[in-house]
Every structure is written in C-alpha cells, then in structure tokens.
Structure 1
Amino acid sequence: MREQGFWSRLWRKPSAGWRLGIPLGGLLFFVLGAVGTVGFNVVIHETSSDAFCVTCHGPSKFAAEEWPEHTHYNTASGVLVTCADCHVAKEFVPKMWRKITAMKEVYYQTLGTYNTREKFEAHRAEMAESVWAEMRETDSRECRSCHKVERMDFARQKKSAAAMHQRMDKMGKTCIDCHKFLAHNRPAKPEQGE
C-alpha cells in the first residue's frame, strides 16, 4: 500500500491549530478585502471631486475660475454640474481608463507645463482639442449620461436646436461638436504669422 503524502494527511487529519487557521485566515482575507474595497472607493470618489481637480487644473484655478460664468454652473433647474460629470465616465472600466490617462496631467503639472496663467493660456487650445477628441471618440458619453436625445421635448427647444438634435446622428455629429464652451472659455486664436 502506498504511503499518503503530507498534504493528503494534513487535509484528512488536520490538527486543532490548522482548523483554527482556516476561519482566522478567512476572516483576515475578508477584512483586508473590505478595507481595500472601501479604500479604493474613497480614493476614486475623492479624485473625482472638484476640490481635487482644481489642485492640478490651476493653482490660481485657471480652468475652474471661469466655470461659474457658464451655463453648466448656473442652471435654470438648480442642478450643479461638477468637473467629473463632464470629464469622468460613470461606468467602471471607462472611469478607470480615465483615471489612468489622467496621470499625464499630473506629469505636466509636476513639470510646470501650465502652472502660470500665461502657460495655461498657451496650452488651452491643445488641452481643449484633446478633451473634444476624447468626447467625440465616446460619442459624448458623459454628456449623454444626463442628456438623452430620445427624451428631449423638441417643441420646447429653439427650432434650430430641435432640428439639429433630431438629425445629429444622421449628420455624424455628437454633443461636443456644437456645445464646446458650456463650462470653459474659448481658446484664443493664434496671432497671425505664428
């Protein structure tokens, strides 16, 4: 008869210490998982707050200081749109991708690429084009998380807006193609001869 291996014997006749280790190990695994999950969610939530966004997007709040002057801040319905509402996806995978790709912004901030008003304005058009391109790629996913074309009351819109909204898909357009300056100022046009 063949002699049983160590693992086989241990599993069939566990000692009292081994039996106690299973529930304690399970409890430790559960506690670490819960702490990790809560910690992860707190970090994701905090890095999507306006206070966090402003820390990088302008020590003097260059991007944030113009936001209260635009329609997505002073809404007729009283709804306050935050930075994350427009710049961070709601779904998990796209949200995580945005968090990863935002590291380039941290890198540029660390380098001081746009840490003064002049540097910020010099890069404004480039930054805006980058955001608009991302929004076009996702068919303005963040806009559509609040604005549903299929639920719009076209009779209450201006005729030109209603006409555009009704045929934007057929025209190959998305929200950002017409609504670029709802929260931020228009980039300055480059000087002639530059």
Structure 2
Amino acid sequence: MTGIQKGAIGTLLTGGLLGIVLVAVVFGGEAALSTEEFCTSCHSMTYTQTELRQSTHYGALGVNPSCKDCHIPQGFKNFHLAVYSHAVDGARELYLELMNDYSTLEKFNERRLIMAHDARMNLKKWDSITCRDCHKNPNPPGADAQEAHKKMKTEGATCIDCHQNLVHEEVPKTDLNASLKAGKLVLVKEEDEGGSGEDEDEEEDEGEGAAGGTSGSTEAQS
C-alpha cells in the first residue's frame, strides 16, 4: 500500500468519525432543546407551562404532553423543521426574551396575542402536523363539525384554522389565511364569532407577524 493510499484511507476514516460526531451532536442537541426543562428555563414559559398542566389536553387518557409535542414537529422526516424552529425562531425569541419584560404575568399578557399568533402560523405552515400526531384521522360525530372538516380537503384548511385557544389563556382568534395573504396579523371577523363586522388588522412589531415562528417566548402558545 502506497503512502497516497494510506493517506486517503486515513482521510476517509477521519471524515467518517467527524461525521458520526456531528450527527450525534445535532441529534443530541435537538433532543436537549426539546425538553420542557429547557423551554421553561425562560421565566416567561413557566406561565404557559402552568396553563398546559391545567388544561383538558393534559392528563386526558393518561397522556401528559409537553411543549415540544405541540410546538416542535416530531419524527425523523420532520427533523429539518425542528432544527429550523430551534435555530432560527429560537435565536429570534431569545433576543425578544432579553429585550422584553416578562417578569409578571400581566406584562407577559401584553404580548400574548402576538406570541399566540406566531405559534398558530407555524402550525398552519406545518399543516398542523403536531396535532395530527395524536389526533389521527378524526371523524367528528356532529354534522357541523363534519362539514367543517371537509374544508381540510376542499379549501386547504388545517386543524389550527378552527381549533384555537384550546390549551392556553384565551386571546382573540386570528384568520391565518388572511394573515398569510396580508403579511401581518389579521383577526377573525366578528361575524365568524357570532356577530358581524369586518376583518380587524393588528400590526405586529419587532419583526413578529404572519411569518412568525414558535420557540422561546412563543413556544407554548396556540
């Protein structure tokens, strides 16, 4: 075996070892960032953690979901979405966590609608994939619900378009299709809530809006 061949083999072995280490770091890091302990290391997330544990979603049928089960896509095929959420959304939300005062629930509530909307928009973009992980092929018994579910096939609707305010403190519902089109937060028409009226626009600040994501201070909202 020539020196060149030995060098090539050594390079391949070194590259393979570094590749294995890199994969282990990425997967291990992603797992660590997805724990509830990591999410609640930001003080603001302790508010939403309490809401989760008091909600009907927690403890039903013996299931105790954590932040990641709703806000981070699971499984190998969705791994790129999880990494993106933590790397991009996480960096932005860390900045907002440092720049905003969430020392009290009252101060947190001042931005709750914006954070909830960002979380909803991520679910919209992901076709509510985290909802579907648990609620597989739902078949609602009511006629109205069955008709509404047809929109998932005919109008491109997804779970989060209708099912908002299920876990955390209630905030105004947002029209996700209109928000995508307008590039900013748009509230659901009052008539859709049982009254009448026009769309209400809510301008977003600090870079958050219809393209917002869920991580850091938005992670436990929907």
Specify the code of the residue in structure 2 equivalent to 1:29.
G
Question: Deviation per CA, 1:133-152, whole angstroms, max 9, x where unpaired?
Answer: 2322333222123323xx33
The equivalences for 1:124-143 within 5 A come to 124-143=112-131
Q: Secondary structure at the match of 1:129?
A: helix
Q: Is 1:51 equivalent to 2:34 in the alignment?
A: no
% identical aligned pairs? 30
8 Å contact kept, 2:128–2:158? yes
The equivalences for 1:3-152 within 5 A come to 14-15=2-3, 18-56=4-42, 58=44, 61-75=46-60, 77-90=61-74, 91-99=78-86, 100-148=88-136, 151-152=137-138
Specify the code of the residue in structure 1 equivalent to 2:57.
H
Give the Cα–Cα distance (whole angstroms) in 2 for the partners of residues 37 and 168 of structure 1.
36
TM-score, scaled relative to structure 2? 0.65
8 Å contact kept, 2:127–2:159? yes
Question: Deviation per CA, 1:6-30, whole angstroms, max 9, x where unpaired?
Answer: xxxxxxx944xx4433333322222
Give the Cα–Cα distance (whole angstroms) in 2 for the partners of residues 173 and 25 of structure 1.
51
Structure of higher RCO (CA pairs closer than 8 Å, 6+ residues apart):
2
The equivalences for 1:154-165 within 5 A come to 154=140, 157-158=141-142, 160-165=144-149
8 Å contact kept, 2:165–2:171? no
- Structure 1 residues 36-45 or 109-118, which shifts more? 109-118
Unaligned runs of 5+ in 1: 1-12, 189-194
Specify the code of the residue in structure 2 equivalent to 1:181.
N
- Structure 1 residues 27-36 or 44-53, which shifts more? 27-36
Query: How far does residue 96 in structure 1 lie from its aligned partner after superposition?
Result: 2.5
Query: How far does residue 121 in structure 1 lie from its aligned partner after superposition?
Result: 1.1
Question: Deviation per CA, 1:73-124, whole angstroms, max 9, x where unpaired?
Answer: 121x212222111111231232222122221111111224434322211111
TM-score, scaled relative to structure 1? 0.73
Specify the code of the residue in structure 2 equivalent to 1:33.
G
Query: How far does residue 65 in structure 1 lie from its aligned partner after superposition?
Result: 1.2
8 Å contact kept, 1:143–1:175? yes
Match of 2:171 in 1: 187
- Structure 1 residues 127-136 or 63-72, which shifts more? 127-136
